[in-house]
Amino acid sequence: MDRRNLFWAFLCVLVGGTAALWLPWTGDDRKAVQAAETPRKAGAEMVPASGSQQAGLAALQALPAPAAGQDTAAALEDDLLDALPTLVAQYEEATRYPPGSQPIRPGELEKYQPNRSTDVSAPFPLPDIEQPVLLSLQLDKYQYFSGEPVAAALSVAQVPQGRSVSVVFRIRDLKGKEWHQQKGVSDEDALYTLLLEPELFDASGIPEELLVQAEVRVGGEKLLVAAPFRYEEAVARISGVSPSFVQGANLIIPVQLENVRPGYYFLAANLYSQSDNQPLIHLEAEGRLNGGKGQLALQAHIAALRATGHEGPYWLTDISLQRAAEVGESLDRPGQPVSERFGVEGFPFSDYVNESYEDPLAAERRAFMEQLGRL
């Protein structure tokens, strides 16, 4: 097998047999790298990307955009071939641990933090002004649940002396329909804020995908900037975490859920050290839940725990819960944590069965990696 064919074979392994791979060079960073699932039969359960796939896709995401006028496919292939040693190293590192128990490496935390704030910034050149007016609109998060206040802040900078400024915030859907309007309140630092309390906001019949639009008038000029967010009912609530315990080579962390809509769920969270708040391990679990109350158990493997050097106690935070769309449904739906973090008891490493994690396909992958190493 020549170098190029072996490389594309590696990509197939990297994404776990997925049908195709897209790398759009522009757009929302949430969609910077997407792997297409093999079509599934009615009622089939989705499987998230493994730790090795996540590591490889993170390296793919860091690749540069093709130069102007350069063929995108050819540029992508050349860049990926150049990145092959990095991909192989990250792939090998990730397969040392279970897919649902991956140490958080330097620079990786951001990709494991859900529901991060939405921030949109842009310059606006105006007639007869040397420097453009700078607008920066930030929401405190991307996903809101029914009954939560929506908070936004708008910074207006480089306004020429003597020019008046006024701000109006509007909530619009993606079709342009306006659902709410509110005047922005400013402080002495030209920061305009919106705090939309639930009682001021009629959300009946409102779509899930929305925009906060800020209309800024600088003198006689009208400037517009908008940031996206979601506003919807939670399909489940994370009500708490039961006491953790050691079982074999794993620290078991039972996560309790309530108000559950039946379906197949994916749970993800990060484990931090309580002593220094250092991010340690990214954890994932999945399973089908019936209605009412349920439980998903996260498992931190001793190999990953030893790699961090922390025996606990821990914080469990950065929690996300998703119900997978089933046949006839168009979107995955989010669950809602009732707290930003939960305490988790730790145990001496000597309490665990001291075993390394063995990838079930280790022998085949090792032989494949040896081929890659000879490229």
Cβ-contact 221, 308 below 8 angstroms: no
Domain C-terminal end among 200, 232, 264: 232
Mean pLDDT by 10 residues, the chain (375 residues): 53 44 30 31 39 50 55 60 61 77 90 84 86 92 88 90 89 91 81 82 80 91 92 90 96 94 94 95 95 93 94 93 88 84 95 84 66 60
Q: Burial of 115 by CB count in 10 Å (0-12 exposed, 13-18 middle, 19+ buried)?
A: middle
Q: How many domains does the chain have?
A: 3
Tell me, yes or no, whether 219 and 274 share the same domain. no
Tell me, yes or no, whether 252 and 345 share the same domain. yes
Tell me, yes or no, whether 241 and 225 share the same domain. no
Using only the alpha carbons of the chain, give its radius of gyration.
24
The encoded tokens of residue 120 equal 């949109």
DSSP 228-258: EEEEE--S-EEEEEPPPEEETTEEEEEEEEE
Q: Which residues pair with 137 in a beta bridge?
A: 120, 154
Tell me, yes or no, whether 144 and 88 share the same domain. no
Please give the pLDDT value at position 236: 93
Domain carrying residue 286: 237-351
Q: In whole angstroms, give the CA distance from residue 51 to residue 204.
A: 40
Tell me, yes or no, whether 244 and 345 share the same domain. yes
Q: In whole angstroms, give the CA distance from residue 108 to residue 111.
A: 6
Examine residue 121 and state whether it is found in any structural domain, yes or no: no
Tell me, yes or no, whether 220 and 136 share the same domain. yes
Tell me, yes or no, whether 275 and 338 share the same domain. yes
pLDDT in tens, 167-188: 999 999 999 999 999 998 887 6
Please give the pLDDT value at position 108: 87
Tell me, yes or no, whether 281 and 211 share the same domain. no
The CATH number of the domain holding residue 167 is: 2.60.40.1930
The encoded tokens of residue 268 equal 């993800």
Domain C-terminal end among 232, 251, 269: 232
Q: In whole angstroms, give the CA distance from residue 313 to residue 324.
A: 32
Tell me, yes or no, whether 217 and 281 share the same domain. no
Report the number of secondary-structure helices (H) and strands (E) in the chain.
6, 23
Q: Burial of 41 by CB count in 10 Å (0-12 exposed, 13-18 middle, 19+ buried)?
A: exposed
3-state SS of 66-95 is: CCCCCCHHHHHHHHHHHCHHHHHHHHHHHC
Tell me, yes or no, whether 322 and 345 share the same domain. yes
Please give the pLDDT value at position 124: 92
Examine residue 291 and state whether it is found in any structural domain, yes or no: yes
The answer to whether the bond into 348 is cis (omega within 30° of 0) is no
